Amino acid sequence: MVAILRSPWFKGHLGEFVVNVCARLFLDKDDYHLINNVTLPTEDGTTQIDHIIVSEYGVFVVETKNMKGWIFGNAKQRQWTQKIYRHSQKFQNPLHQNYKHMKTLQALLGLTDAQIHSVVVFVGDVTFKTEMPANVTRSGEYLRFIKSHTEKVLITQQVREMVEMIASGRLKVSFKTHREHVKHVRTIVDEKDNAVRCPKCHGEMVRRMVKRGENSGKEFWGCLGFPTCRGVLNLQPE
């Protein structure tokens, strides 16, 4: 039982439960339509969205993180840092993580950038040690962000149609769907773990080509974070 309570699976579901309860208690169900645990097909597999809230004020795509400790990060960083006492660990920028969710849903519903909003909710005893964007919140604070959008960008008929489109476009909620999505995520993680890492920032590297000079046409590994990071490595001959 203790192992289950401490597992990432349980923490993830607990965080989603807290967000779900807050939405149902404090958002008018006639104005805001909550849809949970939505798995959508993508070109390379699937993407899983914790919560979607559809309203005349826009579609809100909510990513939950059940964590504790100090959180360091900003919107542009690829990785953020969680610190608990002297222990620190990196995790993917949740705004970047939610970006794919946003784009997949945006394509499905045919939304403009002004009609869809990314929201990240940290559930747990966390303290932000760096200034966060307005859409990165703690627990029930995400409701304040949602309610701050007071301009109607969708009409009632559109809201109804989008709820129906999500219902018909999502994959069936089942253990099989979840298992296949987890398998897809693990494949992506394995690929990133085996990726070439930048010697300066330890981020991902991509193959680039020298465009001018005596080495013109020669390939090398360049940091994905360029120009912020200018780490390079020689490309090993195949």
* Omega prior to 227 cis, within 30 of 0: yes
Q: Between the CA of residue 173 and those of 43, 72, 160, 181, 235, what are the distances in Å? A: 20, 34, 21, 11, 44
Q: How far apart are CA 98 and CA 47, in angstroms?
A: 10
The confidence score (pLDDT) of residue 89 equals: 93
Token representation of residue 162? 């989008």
Average pLDDT value for the chain: 83
Extents of the domains making up the chain: 2-190, 196-238
Q: Quote the pTM value.
A: 0.71
pLDDT in tens, 1-51: 544 435 554 445 566 778 888 888 999 999 999 999 999 988 878 899 999
Q: Is the pLDDT of residue 74 over 90?
A: yes
